[in-house]
Amino acid sequence: MSKDIARERIARRIAHELQDGMVVNLGIGLPTWVANFLPSGSEVLLQSENGFVGLGPAPLPGQEDPDVTNAGGQPVTIVPGGACFDSAMSFAIIRGGHVDVTVLGALEVDEEGNLANWMVPGKMVPGMGGAMDLTVGARRVIVAMEHTAKGKPKILKKCTLPLTARQQVDLIVTELAVIEVTPQGLVLKEIAPDTTVAEVVAQTEATLIINSIKIMEV
């Protein structure tokens, strides 16, 4: 499966988790794609941690406003009813539990719902930006990531990289599976139509609890 098809599938599946009236923060990269798969007329309210709520689609070429960018620095728009604020208010919204769902990428996730996505010691240290606050503060944390990296599992028994947050992940969506984090461990809820439970288990280092399984809508 091409990377783009995998990513589109993940974003499309996560869009089903978002309902009208929810306040949602989409991380940079793959999570941003989720917005493209919301039904038209959707009333999901997107929060942009650089300082506003009511994040709208990219502007038409030539209509960019340099003062209106998303947390990745790209030109965006603000929908009618949007509101701007400073960084203290932005993170009061995030940390204070006023964001219903955050969708974040990950380098590693583990059986306890631990998440690592901000540094690889000695290699890549971009900084956590808003990710630690989002993971701790949002009511529901959905990880959007490809199931493996260069063939190696990313869903582990225990994260090896420095954590972004401890025990905060609620749901993991990959191109192969939808996995829920529960106090008992990781529960495999859905698998993609073009895979098998055995393949998902093979590509996952963590133990998966398997009861009833649905086929993922892709």
Partner 1 sequence: MIKKLRTPSEALAEMPSGATVMIGGFLGVGTPETLIEEMLRKDTKDLTLIGNDTGFPDRGIGRLIVAKRAKKVLASHVGTNPETGRQMHAGETEVVLVPQGTLAEQVRAGGAGLGGVLTPTGVGTIVEEGKQKITVNGREFLLEVALQADYALIKAHKADELGNLVYRRATRNFNPLMAMAAKTVVAEVEEIVPVGELDPDEIITPGLFVTYLVKRGRKDE
Name the residues that contact partner 1, by CB under 8 A. Answer: 20-21, 23, 43, 45, 47-54, 65-69, 71-73, 78, 80-88, 90-98, 114, 122, 124-133, 136-137, 162-167
- Identify which of 32, 27, 55, 7 has the alpha carbon closest to the alpha carbon of residue 128: 27
Marked catalytic residue, from 8, 17, 49, 146:
49
Residue among 77 and 148 whose Cβ is closer to partner 1: 77
For the bound state, the minimum distance from the C-beta of residue 128 to partner 1, rounded and expressed in Å, comes to 5
Query: What is the rounded CA–CA span in Å between residue 32 and residue 35?
Result: 6
Q: Tell me if residue 190 is catalytic.
A: no
Compute CA distances 138 → 45, 47, 98, 133, 184, whole Å.
14, 11, 7, 8, 22
Query: Closest separation between CB of residue 116 and partner 1, Å?
Result: 9
| Shortest separation between residue 114's beta carbon and partner 1, angstroms | 8
Q: Which two tokens stand for residue 58?
A: 């990219």
Q: Which is nearer to partner 1, 71 or 173 (CB)?
A: 71
Cβ 119 vs Cβ 83: under 8 Å: no
What distance in Å separates the CA atoms of residue 134 and residue 87, rounded to the nearest whole number? 13
Residue (54 or 199) nearer to partner 1, CB = 54
Residues annotated as part of the active site: 49
